[in-house]
Amino acid sequence: MSQKEGNPHHDLADQAMSLEGRSGRIHAVEFTRKALLARRRYSLRLYIYLGFFLIFLIAVGVATSMMLTMDVVEKKLRFLEIANEYMLEIRQARRFEKNFFLHGTNLNDALENVYQAKQILNDNKEELGKIIGKDSQSIILFNFIRYEVLLKRLVDLEQTKRNNPDYPQRKKEVESELSRYGQEMVSLANHLMKKEKEALSEAILRSRHIHMYSLVFLLFFLVLNAYLLGSRILGTIGRFSVHAKRIGSGDFTPIPPGRRFRDEFTDLAIEINQMIRELESREAVLIQSHKMRAIGTLTAGVAHELNNPINNITITAHMLLEDYDHLSDEERKEMVRDVVNEAGRSKAIISDLLDFARESGTQLEPLDLPELLRETIHLASNQIRLSGINIELQSRGHLPRIHGDRQQLRQAFLNLILNAVDASSKGGKIQVLLVPADEPGYVAVKMVDFGSGIPEHTLDSIFDPFFTTKTSGKGTGLGLSVSQGIVAKHGGRILASSVQGKGSTFTVTLPVTTIPADIDSGDNLPGRPA
C-alpha cells in the first residue's frame, strides 16, 4: 500500500502518457522541464544570503541603538561630573563665607572658589544649555552673578569699614541677602543633580531593555529563519525521496513541479528527469532482452510439442510412399489430409511463440484481462504440459477492462507463470485467479502455486534485479524485476506472499480503465460491478 501513497498526484492520464513509448516519455520530460522552469527563480543561495544579510542588519541596528544609549549615559555622567565640581566650588565658597561671618576670616578664598565655579559654568556653557535648557541656565547664572556681586560688595564694605558708620547695618543686609542667594544657588544645583541622576538611571534602564529586547528579537528571527530554511530544504528532500522510491519501483513519470518557485532543487529535478529518461530506455532494452530469454525457455517446450506433428507427418509420409501402390485413392487422400492437418498444427504451435517474439513498439489499448491471461497460459502451455502441471484460470464475475500494452503485460504474466511452473513439482497445480482488488478501481490477478514456497528472509529481495534462487545458468534473476517494472509502468504493483512448504501467491494489481473516450469509446466500463 505504501507505494501507492508516493504518487497521489499522478492520475491515470499521466500513467497513460507515461506508457506511450519512448517518444512519449521524451515529450513528457521536455514538458515537465518547461513547467519546472516556468516558475520564478528564488534560489536557496539567495535565500541564505538574504537571511544572513537580515541578521547582519538586525545586529547593526542593535549595535547602533546600544551606542546611542551609551552616548546618552556618557553625556549624563559627564554632566553630573561638571555639576559635582560646580557644587563643590560653591559649597566651598559658602563655607568661606560662613567663616567670614563667624570668625571674620578672609573672603578672598571664597571669591577664589566663586571664580572657579564661574570658570566651570563658562567652560560648559553650551553643554549645560543643551541639557538643562536656556531658562534654567539663565536662572542659575542670575543667582550666581548675584552671589558674586554681593560677595564683592562685602569685600568692598570690609575695606571701607573704618570710615563707614553704617558698616554693621550694611554688613547685616548683605549677609542676609548673600545667604538667600547662596541657599538658592545650592538648592538649585542640588535639584539639578537630582534630576540628572534620575535621568541617568532611566537611560541605563533603557539601555538594558534595548539589550534584552534586541536579543529576544534576534533569537526569534534566527529561529524563524532556521525553521523556514530547514522546512524548505527538508521538505524538498522528503519529496525527492518519495520520488526516488517511486522511480526505483519502476514508475518513470517525470518529477512534476511541486512549489511556486524554482531553485537549485529544480536543477536537480531536471537532471533526475533526464536520468529517468535514460533509465527507461535501458529498461526497455532489459525488457526486450529478458523477453528473448523467456522465448528461449518457451522454445524448449515448443520444440518438444512440435515433435508430435512432425512425427505424425514423417510416419504418414513414409507410409504413403511405402504403400502408395497398394492404397486406394480414398486412403491416400486421407493420409495427405493428415499431413496437411499436422502441418497446420505445427504452424499453430509456433505461431503463438512467433507472435510473442515479434518485436513491437509500445502500444496502448483496452485489454480484456481474462483473454490476455488465456493467451498467456496458452503461450506457456507446452512448458506447462512438459512439466506435468495443471493450470486453471478462474475469472470471478464481469471485470472491467484494463488499459495497457498487450505484449508487455503478457511478458509480465508469462514470467510469473513460468516461475510458478518452476516452483511446482510434477503433477502440481497452478491457479490463476482474476478478482477485484481490495482497492477500488483496481483488479487483481493472483498466481497461486503449491510448490515449496519462498523462505521469509528472501521474500523481500525477490524483486531485486539479479536476485535468483535458481542454479547459475538457469535464471538471470531479472524475471520478477522486469515483471514488476512492466506492472509499475501500468500503474500497478506485484505483491508476493508465501508459506514455506505450502506454496506462493503473486498478486498483480492493475488499475482499471478510466481513460476517456479518445482511445476506445466503446470500452469505458464503469469502475466496478456491484
Partner 1 sequence: MAGKLELLLLDDEPIVGKRLKPALAKIGCNVEVFEDPKQALDRIHQKTFDIVVTDIRMDEIDGLEILEHVLRKSPRTKVIMITGYAMMAVAREAMEKGAYDFISKPFTPDDLRKVIAMAAQALGSPIDSETADPEEPSEPAETR
Handedness of CA 407, 410, 416, 418 (dihedral sign): negative
Asked if residue 146 binds partner 1 (CB under 8 A), the reply is: no
Contact pick of 139, 279, 286, 310 for partner 1 (by CB under 8 A): 310
Stretch of 235-243, 310-318, 407-415, 489-497 contacting partner 1, by CB under 8 A: 310-318
Let me know: does 20 contact 405? Beta carbons within 8 Å: no
Asked if residue 313 binds partner 1 (CB under 8 A), the reply is: yes
By CB under 8 A, the residues from 359 to 398 that bind partner 1 are: 385-386, 388
Contact pick of 119, 201, 288, 314 for partner 1 (by CB under 8 A): 314
- Cα–Cα dist 217/197, whole Å: 30
The residue behind cell 529576544 is: 216
Complex with partner 1: residue 328 or 472, whichever CB lies closer: 328
Please state the closest distance from residue 297 (CB atom) to partner 1, in A. 12
The two counts, helices (H) then strands (E), for the chain are 14, 9
Let me know: does 80 contact 93? Beta carbons within 8 Å: no
Stretch of 88-96, 219-227, 308-316, 500-508 contacting partner 1, by CB under 8 A: 308-316
Let me know: does 349 contact 306? Beta carbons within 8 Å: yes
Q: Give the three-state DSSP class for 414.
A: helix
Asked if residue 328 binds partner 1 (CB under 8 A), the reply is: yes
Please state the closest distance from residue 383 (CB atom) to partner 1, in A. 12
Asked if residue 123 binds partner 1 (CB under 8 A), the reply is: no
Stretch of 90-98, 194-202, 277-285, 314-322 contacting partner 1, by CB under 8 A: 314-322
- Cα–Cα dist 414/90, whole Å: 115
Residue type, 70: M
Contact pick of 18, 113, 316, 504 for partner 1 (by CB under 8 A): 316
User: By rule CB under 8 A, what count of residues binds partner 1?
Assistant: 26
Complex with partner 1: residue 201 or 307, whichever CB lies closer: 307
Asked if residue 186 binds partner 1 (CB under 8 A), the reply is: no
Please state the closest distance from residue 305 (CB atom) to partner 1, in A. 8
Q: Compute the chain's Rg from CA coordinates.
A: 52
- Cα–Cα dist 263/267, whole Å: 7
Size (the chain), residues = 530
Report which secondary-structure segment, H or E, holds 431: strand 429-436
Residue 252: phi, psi to the nearest 5? Answer: -100, 30
Complex with partner 1: residue 316 or 505, whichever CB lies closer: 316
Binding marks (x or -) toward partner 1, 335..354, rule CB under 8 A?
A: x--x---x------------
Asked if residue 278 binds partner 1 (CB under 8 A), the reply is: no
- Cα–Cα dist 320/431, whole Å: 44
Complex with partner 1: residue 272 or 335, whichever CB lies closer: 335
Please state the closest distance from residue 386 (CB atom) to partner 1, in A. 7
Stretch of 13-21, 136-144, 298-306, 411-419 contacting partner 1, by CB under 8 A: 298-306
DSSP letter (8 states) at residue 107: S
Complex with partner 1: residue 184 or 338, whichever CB lies closer: 338
Please state the closest distance from residue 322 (CB atom) to partner 1, in A. 7
Q: Give the three-state DSSP class for 277.
A: helix
| Helices 369-379/406-423 angle, 10° precision | 50
Contact pick of 23, 119, 122, 308 for partner 1 (by CB under 8 A): 308
Contact pick of 62, 66, 210, 327 for partner 1 (by CB under 8 A): 327
Complex with partner 1: residue 321 or 517, whichever CB lies closer: 321
Residue type, 369: L
Let me know: does 225 contact 55? Beta carbons within 8 Å: yes
Contact pick of 105, 214, 281, 312 for partner 1 (by CB under 8 A): 312
Q: How far apart are the first and last CA of the chain?
A: 23
- How distant is the alpha carbon of residue 270 from its chain centre? 16
Complex with partner 1: residue 135 or 325, whichever CB lies closer: 325
Please state the closest distance from residue 354 (CB atom) to partner 1, in A. 19
Residue type, 26: I
**The three-state (H, E, C) secondary structure of 430-481, written as one string:** EEEEEEECCCCCEEEEEEEECCCCCCHHHHCCCCCCCCCCCCCCCCCCCHHH
- Cα–Cα dist 180/143, whole Å: 10
Please state the closest distance from residue 393 (CB atom) to partner 1, in A. 18
Complex with partner 1: residue 194 or 318, whichever CB lies closer: 318
Contact pick of 226, 244, 319, 354 for partner 1 (by CB under 8 A): 319
| Helices 329-357/369-379 angle, 10° precision | 110
Asked if residue 318 binds partner 1 (CB under 8 A), the reply is: yes
Residues of this chain that bind partner 1 (CB under 8 A): 300, 303-304, 307-308, 310-316, 318-319, 322-323, 325-328, 335, 338, 342, 385-386, 388
